[in-house]
Amino acid sequence: MTVWMPRLARPLVALAALAFTVSACGPSEEGETRKWDANKLLVQEFSSKFAAVKPAFEARQQEAQVAWDKAKALTDKDQRAQEMRKANELLTVMLTPAQDIDRKFREIDQLRTDPSLVVLPAYQLNPVLQATDWQVQQVRASLQTGPSTTPGEAIGRLRAANDHLARAREPLDRLKAQVAERQRLQNAATAGQAAPGSVPPGSVPPGQLAPGAVPPGQPMPGSLPPAVPTPAPDPNGPPGNVPLQPLPPPGTMPGAVPPGAAAPAPGAVPPGAPPAPAAKPF
């Protein structure tokens, strides 16, 4: 059923593009003639592809041919072009849904082999492919058996086939959207991770200190010096014998006079100390 699809795809697309280009402009005898020739080829192609609507296509072809011959017999050029367009429209109304079906068949075939889907596990992809393939087979069968003899019946049949194909691809579209969303989340998570060796925002590079930090081993500004431990009593000495502690350097004892400085007079107040209160008389 799909052997002829690649062979006919390009000619059909080219003919459809030619017909659309001509119809987009104003009616002219030359343009309508080119469209008429393209439409007749499309009728032959779709009559062979969709056997169920072939009788209807043939009947509409004869009807359009009669209208075309009458249009060509008119003497007024503008009126002739208008009637030639009406003859073309008799074919276009049937060809448009047939072209849509042909395009949707190709889109589904491409979607089935989409690179983002074929790498999925079989348990996830196969049920979706089976559901899509079943509906596509139903549409193909409806266009091959049970002939439609009238154009109206064929148009309704072609439009129904279009609706079924739109539903047939929905499972694949949903699966592809899920894969794309999962990939988007993975990319976002990867972008949020720091590269090896990089420093996170707000962190200090290794070997550097933050502003105001104290180097290791140095006391904090304003902190007390470490306490000097009291030596333990000598167990071999007399009771209460405590080894003498070494004296601090000169000038560091409380009340000591720094080297080279004169000793204060008796009763003098050290510099910076508050004055002593006056003695009260008895």
What local confidence, expressed as pLDDT, does residue 5 receive?
40
In terms of Cα–Cα distance, which of 49, 26, 23, 44 is closest to 34? 23
The mean pLDDT of 191-197, rounded to a whole number, is 64
Q: Return the number of other C-beta atoms located less than 10 Å from residue 136's C-beta.
A: 21
pTM: 0.59
CA distance 145 to 31: 36
What local confidence, expressed as pLDDT, does residue 14 receive?
52
What local confidence, expressed as pLDDT, does residue 251 receive?
52
CA distance 148 to 132: 26
User: Hey, what are 209's tokens?
Assistant: 């200190």
Q: For residue 249, what are the CA distances in angstroms to 113, 193, 198, 219?
A: 90, 58, 50, 21
pLDDT-derived band at 190, boundaries 50, 70, 90:
confident
Amino acid identity of residue 40, one-letter, is: K
Q: Domain coordinates of the chain in residue numbers? A: 5-183
Whole-number mean pLDDT of the chain? 79
Q: Return the number of other C-beta atoms located less than 10 Å from residue 133's C-beta.
A: 13
CA distance 16 to 282: 130
Asked if pLDDT for residue 82 goes beyond 50, the answer is: yes
SS3 278: coil
What local confidence, expressed as pLDDT, does residue 192 receive?
72
pLDDT-derived band at 238, boundaries 50, 70, 90:
low
